Amino acid sequence: MSDLFDTLRNACASEWQAYTEHAFVRGLADGTLPEACFRHYLGQDYLFLIHFARAYALAAYKSETLEDIRQAAAGLSAIIDVEMGLHVEFCNGWGLSESQMAALPEAEETMAYTRYVLEKGLQGDLLDLHVALAPCMLGYAEVGKALAADPATKTDGNPYQAWIEMYASSEYQEFADVEKQTLNRLMGTRGGPGRMASLSESFRQATRLETAFWEMGLNP
């Protein structure tokens, strides 16, 4: 069986390139992204993670096997018990407290992608939900790895180097690999040729919404 993530990514190659090579990403790479833009992005990303946790709770509800329930519960725990704490600590270094971020109004772009993911999960099955989540989870892994490996990426004195290292880290890359395996497993048990058109469209739309999230970051 071919890799589902590769198939979905190749089916929307132009949208994927616009996402992973966005001006926001280039600004992270060379350190030229205005700090106000990054702070705006960080605050919205905190709100995003709250809904990401809700998506994992929905994944548990949508699960039909104990294995899937355990995986969803582990993902939920990782977000609320580990990732949120790391994100808050990281944001503190940028002068953003958790109370400040929790009080922020949601940007339209934040609402658009998070509600899209939840809608796909409510409307469809566990495979639909994971496909809608994939551009975020796997896209960040691809961006982090690519920036870390690119000799043109500024490392000395780059205020965003820690962000790049976080998503290029072996821990996050392993997390992404598990998600790729999950997509393949779910496709094997729940999918088939008849589902590819719908899954590809969901992935394409989620990729566009991720691109809009970067764009939101450029306009604080």
CA distance 36 to 21: 20
pLDDT given for residue 2 in this prediction: 77
CATH code of residue 190: 1.20.910.10
pLDDT given for residue 1 in this prediction: 52
pLDDT given for residue 134 in this prediction: 96
CA distance 156 to 4: 37
Region 154-173: what's the mean pLDDT?
94
Q: Which two tokens stand for residue 61?
A: 């509800």
- The question of whether 136 is a catalytic residue gets the answer yes
Nearest by Cα to 31 from 150, 153, 142, 149:
153
- Tell me the pLDDT tens digit for each residue of 50-74: 999 999 999 999 999 999 999 899 8
- Tell me the pLDDT tens digit for each residue of 66-122: 999 998 998 899 889 888 888 999 999 999 999 999 999 999 999 999 999 999 999
Active-site residue identified among 15, 109, 142, 210: 210
Sign of the dihedral through C-alpha 179, 181, 184, 189: negative
CA distance 191 to 177: 20
pLDDT given for residue 122 in this prediction: 96
CA distance 131 to 201: 10
Kindly list the distances between the CA atom of residue 29 and the CA atoms of 32, 160, 220, in Å, as whole numbers in the listed order. 8, 8, 19
Give the H/E segment covering residue 87.
helix 84-92
User: How many domains does the chain fold into?
Assistant: 1
Active-site residue identified among 12, 15, 136, 142: 136
**Reported pTM:** 0.93
The proportion of the chain whose per-residue pLDDT surpasses 70, expressed as a percent, equals: 100
3-state DSSP call for residue 140?
A: helix
**pLDDT, the chain, mean:** 94
Q: Which domain holds residue 39?
A: 4-217
- The question of whether 201 is a catalytic residue gets the answer no
